[in-house]
Amino acid sequence: MAQYSPSQLQAIAAINELIEALESLIDELRSDLRQCDIAQAKVAVIPRPKIGDETDAPDRIEPELLSGQEAFGRLIFALADWYGDGEHSTKAVARTPGAVVLRCQPELEERILRRVNQVNALKDQIKARIPELGNRNERFDLLHQHHHMLVTLQLTRHLLALPPVPVIQSLTFTWGVKTEIKKMTVAEVIKRIESMANEPAPADMERDMWQWNISKELNRVKSLPENTELRHRRQLNVRPMVNIRRHLSQAERDARRERWEKEGKFDQPVLLREAHTPLIVLNPKLPVKLGTLGVYDANKAKQRAKRAGRKTSDEPITWLLPVYQYFAK
């Protein structure tokens, strides 16, 4: 069994206490929510791959759509859905995008909003203490010794409750397909390729051929001028997102219409958020339009036109890494 420092043991003890407090607070929040009346409820359950069936990027995702009492029950479950179940892969986190609109007395509304803020504060405290557990392996081992099959991201992600003000007009859901772009220098790419020489060869390649390819690609990158601007592009996993659209007063609409007439812009206030847990909407002053998450089809996404104005080359500088040359205007 690994030996841990006193500071690491103190950190895991503190995290255990925080998780225990969080679980108690979630139970109180659940009790409060059950006292509300359900006005609307629509939740989509994203299927998770089973252990051993993980894929880098699924071509098609079909959510299971729930409504009414079933959707509310899924919200109650999702509030503390922090652990693996032994069947599904914990590499793909649980996601249940949707929203539940509730009616309740003002005192209960205030208490729910306060509890959600307290929940998120505890989650932030847990997240802040996790680095004290040590390196990546030590963090994993310590957390899982005390909390078997814990999915840390599910534990620490925030809940979102929307009060009556500002007035919400609609909640619509979509699939987010984002690309992470980072600057890299030629020297950094060279260092990364050199480190790959110590990694196992791909399953379909002999070790000698792998080393030959590393050497060949190193020479290719080293031939670039040192000041060549490069960008590392990595497509992030597709994930559900929610558009939170605020209701505009007549005065706000008039002001925006005037701007549109002058500048050709009509800026409807919309917030885009990751939709991992159902939103809680409390006592809305006007009916809220709730959308549902549709099917994700990678083939249709690929058929869309390329983003205009891309400043990087179409082909990477080496087949070993998704690094592209950058061309400034």
pLDDT in tens, 5-57: 999 999 999 999 999 999 999 999 999 999 999 999 999 999 988 877 765 56
Any domain includes 273: yes
Q: Tell me: do 134 and 196 sit in the same domain.
A: no
pLDDT of 81 over the 80 cut:
yes
Q: Residue 51 belongs to what domain range?
A: 7-180+234-300
Q: Tell me: do 137 and 191 sit in the same domain.
A: no
Query: In this predicted structure, what is the pLDDT of residue 172?
Result: 96
Cα dihedral 261, 262, 268, 272 in deg (nearest 10): 140
What does the pLDDT average to over 96-123? 98
Q: Tell me: do 13 and 161 sit in the same domain.
A: yes
Pick the range with the lowest mean pLDDT from 163-177, 225-239, 268-282.
225-239
Half-sphere exposure of 111 (CA within 13 A, CB side): 16
What does the pLDDT average to over 117-131? 97
Query: In this predicted structure, what is the pLDDT of residue 234?
Result: 75
Q: Quote the crossing angle between the two packed helices 6-34 and 68-78, to the nearest 10°.
A: 160
Band of pLDDT at residue 88, cut at 50, 70 and 90 = confident
What does the pLDDT average to over 139-168? 93
Q: Tell me: do 168 and 263 sit in the same domain.
A: yes
Q: Tell me: do 171 and 134 sit in the same domain.
A: yes
Q: Tell me: do 170 and 61 sit in the same domain.
A: yes
Q: Tell me: do 27 and 46 sit in the same domain.
A: yes
Q: Tell me: do 44 and 170 sit in the same domain.
A: yes
pLDDT of 161 over the 60 cut:
yes
Answer yes or no: pTM beyond 0.85.
no
What does the pLDDT average to over 115-143? 94
Q: Tell me: do 170 and 278 sit in the same domain.
A: yes
Domain count, the chain: 2
Domain boundary among 225, 252, 285: 225
Give the residue, 166 or 258, on which the prediction is more confident: 166
Q: Tell me: do 217 and 146 sit in the same domain.
A: no
| Mean pLDDT value across the chain | 87
What CATH number should be reported for the domain holding residue 238? 3.50.14.10
Q: Tell me: do 248 and 132 sit in the same domain.
A: yes
Any domain includes 53: yes
Q: Tell me: do 149 and 204 sit in the same domain.
A: no
Half-sphere exposure of 185 (CA within 13 A, CB side): 5
Any domain includes 291: yes
